[in-house]
A and B are shown apart, each in its own frame.
Chain A
Amino acid sequence: MGRKVGIEVSIAAAEAVGLCDVDVVAAYPITPQTHVVEHLSELCASGELDAEFVPVESEHSAMSVCCGSSAAGARTFTATAAQGLALMSEIVFIASSMRLPMVMFLANRALSSPLSIWNDHSDTMMVRDSGWIQVFCENGQEVYDSIFHSFRVAEDPKVSLPVMINVDGFNLTHVIEPIEFWTKEMAQKYIPPFKPLYKLYPDKVVTMGAFGMPEIYAEAKMSQDQALWNSYPVIKQAWDELAALTGRKYSPVELYKTEEAETLILGMGTICETASLAVDKMREQGKKVGLVKLRLWRPLPVDDIKNAISGAKNLLVLDRAVSFGAANGPVTTEIQSIMYHEKERPNIYNVIAGLGGRDVTPEDIIKMLETALANKNQGYNIHGVRG
């Protein structure tokens, strides 16, 4: 077992990438992702990490370099946030369609305008349908462990897809937490050498990125969709093996104090830690409230979600992004869609909170819940908006 250190989460993530023996890192600086790639470039410069650090001229090129290096059979990593993700989004969709494994650390940040460097999930929701495996992290240890898990899953020949690790900007990227490190041996044991399904090399000539006529496009998309669904058991198994290695157990959906809970709160990312404090307080007051943490966002763990919430009377879904002009926030829309056909289903309420770095406290969450239950409001509201 590795040592436990107090360390900034971004630095720890970079150290994890180093332990994974990555071959190529391509990134363009953007707040709040910078500490990750700065540290990686230091590791490369000092020789501690034998990798090519490609300091690209834009995020669009960052993702393009990643496609090239992954296609060449190299273990590939990038990190970005908000506008950077928006700029590279064209290629984000192509990376998954071409089944190119790679890992992205996404320091979740609000999209402009107004320009904001602070946290919400509007960036990641923009690429919700990009075909990447997408996980959310609640604390530093999860982020650190997710790096290893993501390489393991992405490069599994049964998967061969890119993985996006969502890390709330500043709220998580810039905090110092106690993190238990892995050893090099653990990483090597957990992540086998990258053996891509196909690679660009003259010994076996392949054509990658052909174009699709209407006669074939739908089949290509079906194949891609199935690949993402088929990643689910691999993701779970990799988490089980991670548990055997580290003693830390992760699941697509995690439950907190849900025993006999009548009312549940569901969220993704660091807001879950805040919500758990709210649950503690309400439980102290004898209220039957519990928390459902959604770790795996794509592929959506449909049955796990059903099992977690179908017994409850009420469900408050915390969204951290606005889906402008839509019936609800993006997470709520998914949950409602899953539950529509269920006989037993909770009343589902939606609150959007924490936009552009607005602080969300446990008291806020208690208030959101009380208001939702009292008003039985349909549709969404943005918590704490003045006026």
Chain B
Amino acid sequence: MADTEKKKVIKPIKNFSMEEYISSGHRACQGCAEVLAVRHVLKAIGPDMIMAMATGCMEIISSPYPLTSWNIPWIHVAFENAAAVASGVESGLKALRRKGRIPNKDVTIVAMGGDGGTTDIGFQALSGMIERGHKVIYVCVDNEAYMNTGIQRSSSTPIGATTTTSPTGKLEPEGKSTWKKDMVAIAAAHGIPYTATACPTFFTDLQKKIQKAKEVNGPSYIHILSVCPTGWRVPPNKAIEYGQLAVDTGVFPLYEVENGAWKLNRKPKELKPVSDYFKGQGRYRHLDERFTQQIQDKVTERWNKLVELCSEKPEK
């Protein structure tokens, strides 16, 4: 059998950088899909970039002085200001370039924060950055809670998930009782040229979106769902699979808004039930059938609205 079988050969992947801009030796947890998202974001951009990062998991795992995992120029100042620091880097380079003090070369400026640093404490700075029109790609790596400080709820924690500050109890049997903040819609409401959701499970889609954002003449916002085995209480080896389920159940749809035009990037023929996604996640272990159904109804409703938005043609 073996000699008749045609031997498979490793062929290069198209449009895929083999460089690693965040080097091994970083201290992310086993199976961290967030650092995987970062890996793909960096590969999509390449070396001519500068990153401003918010305090959080990615900052802590990558920069214990005197060590750094970064192979790109990188700055961390505080928790809530990645967007503002990136605005400053962009403005500084703009002035220096205009005055001929640095080469007239395009350098991509990226701001990156977790869901806490983006949807909560860094929300204002992000809104300011978008409104002022800085040419910055803002990437939110969303693991749906304050994982770095020990799994506290953020406004990006999904409904029904337990965290250390949204526990289940007799009076609050559902865990977190409010819906996840819809950041891409908020970014879109600013009239931002480009905004999208992404997930490292769909790495080609993710890289394509980052490259699209890079070409935009203005701000862009990419919201990346990043499975956190530690915080979600799932086995590390299933980090990729849960990303797939989040998308295929419609809990976290992949879509983009380009100059006001909404577009679904992955449209399953039929959505899987949300219970497929909840199953096996420790943070959802307490959910009963009734509450699961309530969430299912809302997910379906939101999905239908999204499909509708994405089918509308923008006026010419």
Chain A CB within 8 A of B71 CB = yes
Which of chain B's residues have a CB closer than 8 A to the CB of A52?
91-92, 94-95
Contacts known (A54-B132, A57-B124); A209 close to B63, Cβ less than 8 A: yes
Chain A CB within 8 A of B29 CB = no
CA distance A23 to B131 in the complex (A): 21
Which of chain B's residues have a CB closer than 8 A to the CB of A98?
77
CA distance A55 to B129 in the complex (A): 10
Which of chain B's residues have a CB closer than 8 A to the CB of A56?
84, 87, 128, 132
Which of chain B's residues have a CB closer than 8 A to the CB of A200?
50, 73-75, 89
CA distance A73 to B49 in the complex (A): 15
CA distance A301 to B95 in the complex (A): 36
Report which of A64, A94, A210 forms a contact with B63, defined as CB distance below 8 A.
Answer: A210
Stretch at the interface among A175-183, A211-219, A243-251, A376-384: A211-219
CB nearest to A25 among chain B residues: B91
Chain A CB within 8 A of B125 CB = yes
CB nearest to A206 among chain B residues: B73
Report which of A26, A68, A201, A209 forms a contact with B107, defined as CB distance below 8 A.
Answer: A201
Which of chain B's residues have a CB closer than 8 A to the CB of A201?
50, 73, 93, 102, 107
CA distance A213 to B128 in the complex (A): 33
Contacts known (A91-B77, A201-B107); A68 close to B88, Cβ less than 8 A: yes
Report which of B47, B60, B70 forms a contact with A207, defined as CB distance below 8 A.
Answer: B70
CA distance A69 to B89 in the complex (A): 5
A205 and B70 form a contact (CB under 8 A): yes
Chain B CB within 8 A of A60 CB = yes
Chain A CB within 8 A of B64 CB = yes
B92 and A70 form a contact (CB under 8 A): yes
A: contact size bracket: 35 or more
CB nearest to A68 among chain B residues: B88
Which of chain A's residues have a CB closer than 8 A to the CB of B72?
202, 205
Chain B CB within 8 A of A66 CB = yes
Contact with A along B68-87 (1 / 0, CB 8 A): 10111111111011011111
Report which of B73, B74, B80, B96 forms a contact with A23, defined as CB distance below 8 A.
Answer: B96
Least CB distance from A33 to B in Å reads 18
Contact with B along A187-212 (1 / 0, CB 8 A): 00000010000001110011111111
A211 and B63 form a contact (CB under 8 A): yes
Report which of B47, B89, B102, B132 forms a contact with A55, defined as CB distance below 8 A.
Answer: B132
Chain B CB within 8 A of A67 CB = yes
CB nearest to A94 among chain B residues: B77
Which of chain A's residues have a CB closer than 8 A to the CB of B99?
23, 50
Which of chain A's residues have a CB closer than 8 A to the CB of B49?
202
Chain B CB within 8 A of A72 CB = yes
Least CB distance from B28 to A in Å reads 15
CB nearest to B131 among chain A residues: A57
CB nearest to B99 among chain A residues: A50
Least CB distance from B128 to A in Å reads 3
A211 and B60 form a contact (CB under 8 A): yes
B125 and A24 form a contact (CB under 8 A): no
Which of chain B's residues have a CB closer than 8 A to the CB of A220?
65
CB nearest to A203 among chain B residues: B103
Chain B CB within 8 A of A141 CB = no
Which of chain A's residues have a CB closer than 8 A to the CB of B314?
none
B65 and A216 form a contact (CB under 8 A): yes
Which of chain A's residues have a CB closer than 8 A to the CB of B92?
23-24, 52, 68-74, 76
Chain A CB within 8 A of B177 CB = no
Which of chain B's residues have a CB closer than 8 A to the CB of A50?
95, 98-99
CB nearest to A62 among chain B residues: B84
CB nearest to B80 among chain A residues: A60
Which of chain A's residues have a CB closer than 8 A to the CB of B12?
none
Q: Which of A249-304 contact B (CB under 8 A)?
A: none
Contacts known (A23-B92, A54-B132, A74-B92); A209 close to B76, Cβ less than 8 A: yes
30 of the cross-chain contacts (CB-CB < 8 Å) are A24-B88, A50-B95, A50-B99, A54-B88, A56-B128, A57-B125, A57-B131, A60-B80, A61-B87, A64-B81, A64-B84, A65-B87, A66-B88, A67-B85, A67-B88, A68-B52, A68-B75, A68-B86, A70-B92, A71-B85, A71-B89, A94-B77, A200-B74, A201-B50, A202-B47, A207-B68, A208-B76, A209-B77, A211-B76, A213-B65
**3 shortest interchain CB distances as A-B pairs:** A68-B88, A74-B92, A57-B128
20 extra A-B contacts, CB within 8 A, seeds A57-B124, A67-B75, A91-B77: A24-B95, A26-B91, A52-B95, A57-B131, A61-B124, A64-B87, A65-B85, A67-B77, A67-B85, A74-B93, A94-B78, A98-B77, A193-B101, A202-B50, A207-B63, A207-B70, A209-B75, A210-B65, A211-B63, A211-B65
